[in-house]
């Protein structure tokens, strides 16, 4: 029977569907999400080949290190999108479709309707076809203006992704190292995701990936995106994946703090104390909520919470 998979997407790595060699290499990766690409990395004369490659790949046993298998299709209106969806939507290991250039609710509605029309039963134990999740790429000024209606269109929508290069092209912007030219768009996307309770808000691609300088830039961009409310990042090279997954996971110090808060709060609650202190700082309901969220994400990221809780089981509210 099909099992629902985690929505944690600290890293979303694009892999060209036209390269069988690169598809096979992903079997050795550890990544929250790999998006096998039919769009930008595949030339028009190789679209059919890429569809066949990806379909065969998704029919093979799932790689242990990949939590989510996604496919980025071509944009609605290109003439390729229907063939893309038909080729992969019934593949047994497809979890998610990434939809580029979503400018309005009609784009997502078309995709959702197409999926529902073409889906069939892939598991005899299922009472209905397993739902395919959708991630929408936000790439234009029009999309930013329509964020609310986009977020409210499809029940399958599971997050938004910011495509900086196409957005810069649309607004005639020049990308700079500070990324300040994207501040409004990035903040709007992160806020819209939170307002509509979408699990994933995935930040722009880091175009630097070679050597120590590439690693430094990637780390800086991850921390900057995290500070704006993003919880994941697009990757274009396997070396970027570990950096993103570390940056967007809770740190050991954060997990320890959260465990101490939850253990002490349970004891405070038994004593009828709504507010108390830890390390000289007041702990109340919003802080406890944050601690609970940290532990939930830490568990999804693979932390051994039982060991941390055992270590701090004697923590008392101050």
Banded model confidence at residue 130, pLDDT cuts 50, 70, 90: confident
Coil, helix or strand at residue 55: helix
Mean pLDDT of 86-106: 96
Looking at residue 208, its pLDDT comes to 92
Angle at 279 between CA 277 and CA 280, to 5 degrees: 60
Buried b (16+ CB within 10 A) or exposed e, 168-180: bebeeeeeeeebe
Would you state the pLDDT for residue 124? 57
**For 228-250, what is the mean pLDDT?**
97
Tokens of 189: 């996307």
Per-residue pLDDT at 120 = 72
What pLDDT score was predicted for residue 199?
Answer: 94
Q: Is the pLDDT of residue 37 over 90?
A: yes
- Six token digits for residue 114: 């197409």
DSSP secondary structure letter of residue 85: H
299, 259 contact by CB (below 8 A): no
pTM: 0.89
Look at residue 274 in the predicted model and tell me its pLDDT. 83
pLDDT, position 121: 56
- 134 close to 97: Cβ distance less than 8 angstroms: yes
pLDDT for 1-32, tens place per residue?
A: 333 444 799 999 999 999 999 999 999 999 99
Span 171-182, average pLDDT = 97
Q: Is the pLDDT of residue 128 over 80?
A: no
User: How confident is the model at residue 119, as a pLDDT?
Assistant: 81
What pLDDT is stored for residue 96 in this prediction?
Answer: 97
188-220 residues labelled b (16+ CB within 10 A) or e (exposed): bbbebbeeeebbbbbbbbbebbeeeebbebbbe
| Rounded Cα distance, 189 and 141, in Å | 12
Contact (Cβ atoms closer than 8 angstroms) between residue 107 and residue 83: no
Residue 302 has pLDDT above 90, yes or no: no
Element (H, E) at 36: strand 31-37
Q: Is 304 annotated as a binding residue?
A: no
Residues 6+ positions from 246 with CB-CB distance below 8 Å? none
Percent share of the chain, pLDDT over 70:
95
User: According to the 3-state scheme, what is the secondary structure of 9-29?
Assistant: CCEEEEEECCCHHHHHHHHHC
Q: Residue range 251-277: average pLDDT? A: 92
pLDDT(126) > 80: no
Give the model's pLDDT for residue 5: 45
139 in a known ligand binding site: yes
**Band of the pLDDT at 122, cuts 50, 70, 90?**
low
The CA distances from residue 174 to 144, 177, 216, in Å, are 18, 10, 21
Task: Please name the residue ranges forming H helices in the chain.
Answer: 20-25, 47-59, 81-88, 105-118, 141-145, 147-151, 164-171, 183-195, 211-228, 238-247, 252-270, 285-300, 305-311
The pLDDT value recorded for residue 4 is 40
């Amino acid at each position: 029977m099909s099992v629902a998979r985690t929505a944690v997407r600290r890293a979303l790595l694009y892999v060209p569907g036209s390269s069988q060699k690169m598809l096979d290499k992903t079997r050795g990766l550890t990544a929250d999400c790999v998006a096998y690409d039919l769009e930008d990395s595949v030339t028009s004369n190789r679209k059919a080949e890429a569809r066949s490659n990806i379909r065969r790949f998704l029919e093979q046993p799932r790689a242990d290190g990949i939590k989510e298998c996604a496919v980025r299709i071509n944009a609605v209106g290109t003439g390729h999108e229907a063939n893309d969806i038909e080729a992969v939507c019934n593949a047994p290991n497809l979890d998610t479709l990434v939809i580029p250039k979503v400018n309005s609710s009609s784009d997502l509605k078309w995709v959702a309707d197409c999926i529902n029309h073409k889906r069939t039963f892939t598991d005899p134990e299922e009472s209905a076809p397993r739902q395919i999740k959708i991630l929408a790429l936000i790439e234009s000024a029009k999309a930013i203006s329509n964020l609310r209606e986009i977020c409210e269109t499809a029940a399958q929508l599971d997050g938004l992704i910011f495509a900086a290069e196409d957005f810069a092209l649309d607004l005639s912007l020049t990308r700079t190292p500070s990324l300040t030219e994207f501040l409004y768009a990035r903040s709007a996307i992160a806020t819209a995701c939170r307002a509509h309770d979408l699990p994933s808000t995935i930040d722009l691609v880091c175009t630097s990936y070679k050597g120590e300088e590439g690693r430094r830039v990637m780390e800086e961009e991850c921390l900057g995106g995290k500070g704006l409310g993003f919880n994941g990042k697009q990757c274009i090279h396997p070396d970027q994946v570990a950096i993103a997954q570390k940056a967007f996971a809770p740190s050991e110090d954060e997990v320890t703090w959260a465990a101490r808060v939850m253990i002490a709060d349970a004891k405070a609650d038994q004593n009828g104390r709504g507010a108390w202190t830890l390390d000289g700082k007041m702990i109340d309901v919003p802080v406890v909520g944050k601690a609970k969220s940290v532990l939930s994400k830490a568990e999804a990221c693979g932390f051994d919470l039982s060991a941390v809780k055992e270590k701090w089981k004697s923590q008392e509210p101050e």
